[in-house]
Amino acid sequence: MEDIAKEYFSCGDRERAAFEAGIKLGTIYHQFIGAPISLRNAASLEKAIEEGCRVQPFVESCRVRIDREKIRAKRSEYKYTTLSPSMLDVELTIRYRRVRLTARLKWIDELRYPLMFIERIEEID
């Protein structure tokens, strides 16, 4: 994919790939945390998040998993709850020029925090 905005970025390809991943993960987090969720709609919410992410520039793949056990534990009398950070596990792969970067958004129990981090970064031919 051609990068029509390249002239505005004063960074290398690795940094740009990391920037793109951070934008996507931040968007997922802030757009969907708090969404109503039940066991019935968890799969469709996963798919909606994935598809929304995949249409963005430089996204090679996006996988979203919502922890069903945490939905069961939190659901109310009305059989739903809201999506919380601890339920979400996202793996995102960005391809920017000759860089492939895999980033995650995942709840880390030891930190008690939904961490966004770079899992892998590689140069490709």
Q: What is the pLDDT of residue 78?
A: 86
Q: What is the pLDDT of residue 90?
A: 99
Report the Cα–Cα distance between both ends of the chain, in Å, rounded.
Answer: 15
Q: What is the pLDDT of residue 125?
A: 85
3 backbone dihedrals φ, ψ, rounded to 5°: -105, 100
CB atoms within 10 A of CB 29: 15
User: Which CATH code fits 11-123?
Assistant: 3.30.1300.20
Q: What is the pLDDT of residue 42?
A: 98
Is residue 43 exposed (0-12), middle (13-18) or buried (19+ Cβ within 10 Å)?
Answer: exposed
Rounded CA separation 9/7 (Å) = 6
Q: What is the pLDDT of residue 79?
A: 87
Q: What is the pLDDT of residue 74?
A: 85
Average pLDDT of each block of 10 consecutive residues along the chain (125 residues)? 92 98 98 96 98 97 98 88 97 98 98 98 95
Q: Where are the domains of the chain?
A: 11-123
